[in-house]
Each structure stands twice: as C-alpha cells, then as structure tokens.
Amino acid sequence: MGRLTGLGGVFFRAENPEKLYEWYDKHLGIKQDVPGQGVLFRKKDGDPEGFTAWSIFKPDTKYFQPSTKPFMLNFAWKTWTDCWRLRGEGGWIDPNRADYDYGRFAWIMDPEGNRIELWEPPRRS
C-alpha cells in the first residue's frame, strides 16, 4: 500500500444523521457505539490500531471544509509528516494538524477537491 497502512474511516453527510443511524441499526445491525463519532469496526477487541471509523455528519458540518463534497475518507498513514511531499504531487495540504492520545491527524485534498484525513495511529510501546 505504499504510504498507507489501511482505511481509518468513512465519513459522510446526511440530512438527519440520528434517523439514518437508526435505519442502519434496524436494517444492517450497525449501531452507533461512539456518540458523536459513529461506529468503530475493530479487527480484534481492544486493538487501538485495528479499527475503521464510520460516521454520519450533519449536512452543515464544517469538518469537511474547504471541500464541498458530501464525504471524506480517513486513511491510516505510516507517518503524517510525509504528507508535505504531496504538495509537489498535485495535492492541497491543510496547514492545520491535530494530536490526540489516539493518534496524529493531517488533512489534504486531492486534485478533484475530495478532502482526505491522514491518521497516524499512536505508536505501541
């Protein structure tokens, strides 16, 4: 996979996120297990690096900006500091970064305006 280590998350907008979560729960058994964050699909229980987040956002969310697209992907990334190399490869790089106990984040946009979140999971000790 090169620079990527997996799919960290799928995020999309909906007119009524709560009602849509209820639909997914009723018909597909997907429960919103992390309020405000959605669903975490784990490869194995307790693995902080082995999950894919799936979240539904309100239509007016600013989290996808400056993209106007209705979705955003999150990719697990070997090291988000490598994202600066994308500047010369046709991608836009958000100057903002975020560090949390569950990893480091950076954002880019591809040439068609799709916002992509890059997530570097925390290193295991």
Condensed to tens digits (0 to 9), the pLDDT of residues 21-36 reads: 899 889 988 888 766 5
For the chain, the domain total comes to: 1
Domain assignment present for residue 34? The answer is: yes
Mean pLDDT of 116-123: 87
Mean pLDDT of 101-105: 87
Residue 83 has pLDDT above 80, yes or no: no
The rounded percent of the chain whose pLDDT value lies above 90 is 37
Domain assignment present for residue 70? The answer is: yes
Confidence band of 78 (pLDDT split at 50, 70, 90) = confident
Domain assignment present for residue 50? The answer is: yes
Residue 1 has pLDDT above 50, yes or no: no
Is the distance from CB of 109 to CB of 115 less than 8 angstroms?
A: yes
CATH number, domain with residue 51? 3.10.180.10
Structural domain range at position 69? 4-120
Residue 57 has pLDDT above 80, yes or no: yes
Residue 71 has pLDDT above 70, yes or no: yes
Residue 46 has pLDDT above 80, yes or no: no
What is the β-pairing status of strands 4-13 and 51-57?
parallel
What is the β-pairing status of strands 92-100 and 103-109?
antiparallel
Domain assignment present for residue 54? The answer is: yes
pLDDT of residue 49: 56
| CA distances for 113 relative to 13, 27, 44, 51, 88, angstroms | 16, 32, 34, 26, 16
Domain assignment present for residue 125? The answer is: no
Domain assignment present for residue 45? The answer is: yes
Which stretches of the chain are assigned E, i.e. beta strand?
4-13, 39-42, 51-57, 71-77, 92-100, 103-109, 115-120
Domain assignment present for residue 79? The answer is: yes
Distance CA 76, CA 8 (A): 5
